[in-house]
Structure 1
């Protein structure tokens, strides 16, 4: 959750070097130190005002339990529905995180906190990178809570420690990609209320996937769109790595889910990371 930062807090926490570093290595260390300061600022805010964080966690758990217990008996899925569902909900939560990132970034912008950051002698990328770091740590906590809940209701991965950790890596890679989408949109949006328009886009993208049902159960054209959804690639890859039941298809994408689960997020990051940094640097005073 993001709240305005007082001048006292900002002055005490932000580094104030006398001059810009002369070497590339020094610039990198300076940028990382600045980014960590911004990340720590957001973590302190969440610790002091945990209401929104707890609400987001409860919502994610509610989605998992609702689909598993209320709709699971009616869903068409190969094998145990819980094992089919859990990878989908975990990936979906990573995508839905774009809304909280968008709101936090745009709220800081609207309240003048971003302008205060820009007036300080700090790396130009530190604010957006720091925001990404804080939200990524938030996502790690969300994944931990959802995995604990899933284990409690009977889900489990059937692979070794290596594939299991690789699956979590793919989930966080997807979240990292959506972070940069959210940061960029938050910097260009007019007000925090614009999140309603973002939800109109994000929710259909989230549900038009293989997260809850197999694309084979959809009309042909709709199933094809669902298969090529970046979310579907991550879900299919996680199911494969955890040896959970998944949908079958002869498409090239379905046969190489791990490859696409890496390519889609990397492509999004390659597009939206530089856009976010450039947009931040071009903000008007």
Structure 2
């Protein structure tokens, strides 16, 4: 644990503290509102990042990283120095006679050498990652922006939640904000579509019996299934009903399969 216990919030949330350090931080946490707030914020950010789909690195990454790391030259051992600056050999029991400040200096020197080596290896890894790392960073930004849109719709003053039942018996819901002209389709689990297929949302008007009015069915966003599905889509300000179909990728202008998840909104 660091001398300033407040800076250990990130390590605590990431479960990177030693058991004794964790116990000490939790004891501090009980009486520190600032750290409790920061722990909650870090945990929320971590939860958002967990919705990232797994992005596999390029197949050649491992070989290129290992080959590049092999070219990093390690630093030579740090020689012991006498009071006059001359290099001396340490006696077997010299550590016991070294003052505390000298031991601290040596530990710091070893730490500096270690960090230097790690930094060099990190540079090699970063260069090897190249465009893959940039792509992952862009994916993080996209997920963050998507989560922001979801939050805005769910917390809109005029938000209306309409639950629906899916063909497999599971539940889902549309949350509609006409002021924002946006809606969110949310499902805890939705089976993945077959290759070449996508789910597609539809907006429409309905007649007095609740049936779609001809000429009013409009295509919306497409998406795939999975766990924790959240889809933000627009053009819902004047819609009277929503539905989903399975279409050939990248989507269709008219429904070609039986709609499900129908809901009047």
Band of TM-score, shorter chain: under 0.3
TM-score calculated relative to the size of structure 2? 0.23
Q: Say which one has the larger Rg.
A: 2
- Higher helix content, 1 or 2: 1
Higher RCO (C-alpha 8 Å, min separation 6): 1
Relative to the length of structure 1, the TM-score reads 0.22
More strand by share: 2
